[in-house]
Amino acid sequence: MDRTSENKIVLIVRKTRLDELIARFNTEAQARFYVEHLGADFSDYKREHEKYKASVQDAQRLLSHIGRLQTVDREFITNFIFGHTDTVVVLGQDGLVANVIKYLNGQSVVGVNPDPDRWEGVLLPFTVSDLPGIIPAVFSESRPVREVTMAKAELNNGQTLYGVNDLFIGPKSHTSAHYELQIDDRLETHSSSGIIVSTGLGSTGWFRSILAGATGIASRLSGKKLPGKLQDNFEWDANYLYFSVREPWPSKTSSAETTFGKITPKKPLKLISHMPEHGVIFSDGIENDFLEFNSGTLAMISVAEKKGHLVI
């Protein structure tokens, strides 16, 4: 096959909702019966599936003429070894882009929206038809790149986990998390629903909802409308993170004073688990990719030493 360069391109794809239904029910006909039996519109699943598969085929055709192409499904990302000079093209929703970035180390990421009529795509500035113009510019390093700060959880057993949007530290199920929290010279024992650590990229997501809820409660209890708009987002490359404790419970053995704060390179967040079992740390909403955080485990939450690189 004729191609214009020998540069490596890794195309990341995902399964559609219909793919997952067929995997569950064995055939498309059985999947259709299940969906329609519940009163849902199966045709929407079908349209989404066909549009995505067509986008994958178009992307593969275009990229194979530009460089050496390898297509990888998202389920294999955790074990895939990316080359240092690989250009990574992600075809999917924003969440897939975030999930890929945390496994990279300096590689450029091109976010491609497979269906602009369906997905808004904050991290997907390009369409498939843009690829012939974008990828050569990435190869020549003439395309602008936006840095993305990540969060890092490092345990005292050597395990690490990165977060592009956020980290969750807490119980696997809907129970209380018990842990010791230390930042600067403040040390507290907590009982809560867990801790959310947010990056600048994730500040328009979970972080925004946390602040909106806290503001609403404070306004109602005080009887005063808090002035101004919440400054709930910060820059993607900001060299700090924010942590927020969910539903802290003050008691004879637990405090609820240090419930929100900033994590910087010189001021990490230190956590020691007091949970005998079911304690976890996961990132970016991917619950099946987690670290166990049980009794005696020490977690250092910090600004990651590496950054993501999003092509814009």
Q: What are the tens digits of pLDDT across the range 182-212? A: 999 899 999 999 999 999 999 888 888 888 8
Determine the pLDDT at residue 230: 52
Residues 16-42 have a mean pLDDT of 94
Query: Domain ranges in the chain?
Result: 8-143, 150-304
* 69 half-sphere exposure, CB direction, 13 A CA radius: 22
Q: In this prediction, what percent of the chain has a pLDDT beyond 90? A: 79
Q: How high is the mean pLDDT of the chain?
A: 93
Retrieve residue 30's tokens: 């059985």
pLDDT number for residue 226: 63
The beta strand positions in the chain, using DSSP E, are 8-13, 68-73, 87-91, 108-112, 145-155, 160-163, 166-171, 177-183, 186-192, 194-198, 241-246, 260-263, 269-273, 279-283, 290-292, 298-311
Q: What is the pLDDT of residues 97-151, one digit of tens each?
A: 999 999 999 999 999 999 999 998 889 999 999 999 999 999 999 999 999 999 9
| 41's tokens | 């519109």
pLDDT at 73: 96
Indicate if the pLDDT at residue 7 is higher than 90.
yes
Residue 294 has pLDDT above 90, yes or no: yes
Residue 2, pLDDT > 90, answer: no
CATH hierarchy code of domain 8-143:
3.40.50
pLDDT value of residue 140:
95
Under CATH, domain 150-304 is a member of which superfamily? Probable inorganic polyphosphate/atp-NAD kinase; domain 2 (2.60.200.30)
Helix (H) or strand (E) holding 144, with range, is none
Is the model's pLDDT at 229 over the cut of 70? no
Q: Say how far apart CA 104 and CA 107 lie, in whole Å.
A: 6
pLDDT in tens, 148-180: 999 999 999 999 999 999 999 999 888 899 999
Residue 231 pLDDT level (bands cut at 50, 70, 90)? low
Phi-psi map region of 133: left, alpha, beta (phi>0 left; psi -120 to 50 alpha): alpha
Q: How confident is the model at residue 285 (pLDDT cuts 50, 70, 90)?
A: confident
Residue 93 pLDDT greater than 70, yes or no: yes
Do the beta carbons of residue 283 and residue 77 sit within 8 Å? no
Report pTM.
0.88
- Tell me what the mean pLDDT of segment 33-47 comes to: 93
